[in-house]
Amino acid sequence: MSLLKLNDLYKTLILDHAQHPHHHGQLADVPGVTLNNPTCGDVIQVQLAVQRNQIEQIAFSGTGCTISQASASVMTDVLIHQTPAQAQQLLHDFSQLIMGETITATAKKQLGDAAVLGTVAEFPTRIRCAMLAWHAAEQCLAQIGGPTNESKS
């Protein structure tokens, strides 16, 4: 894919998810994790409910820049219906990608639209914006007894 087409896809994806976020709102009676990015004022709360070893429900709420909102929306699409172990692997793969590390083609495919956000690695000041919801999801998994990853970014 040419760089111009990738940039167009990135812009379209980011704007669509920021303007029409998926799984935006709150889940009744489901604890969540709220994180903030003091650098640009993003505040994101992530809630997820695991039933039968699968993320059955996931939601995010809060305010922030276009990148943080779009990344949270994409993340919910990636993690819904995953087992906690699968979700933890996806969280790890996204973290590696966003930090500019190389991930496998299989991992990119599993990340789906989230893989396009990997271009944020070129803008270090925006990495925190893109990672905020993903870090909150990781903490949610840890709170409910999901697997944890010792190598946090």
Return per-residue pLDDT of the chain as tens, 153 residues: 444 554 665 678 788 888 888 999 999 999 999 999 988 899 999 999 999 999 999 999 999 988 999 999 999 999 999 999 999 999 999 999 999 999 999 999 999 989 988 888 788 888 999 999 999 999 999 998 744 433 333
For residue 34, give the H/E element and its range.
Answer: strand 32-37
Q: What is the pLDDT of residue 144?
A: 85
Q: What is the pLDDT of residue 147?
A: 45
C-alpha to C-alpha distance for 66 and 53, rounded to whole angstroms: 32
C-alpha to C-alpha distance for 60 and 63, rounded to whole angstroms: 10
C-alpha to C-alpha distance for 103 and 145, rounded to whole angstroms: 26
Query: 45: left (phi > 0), else alpha (psi -120 to 50), else beta?
Result: beta
**Structure token digits, residue 37:** 């990015």
pTM of the model: 0.86
Q: What is the pLDDT of residue 125?
A: 84
Give the SS3 label for residue 81. coil
Domains and CATH numbers, the chain: 3-143 (3.90.1010.10)
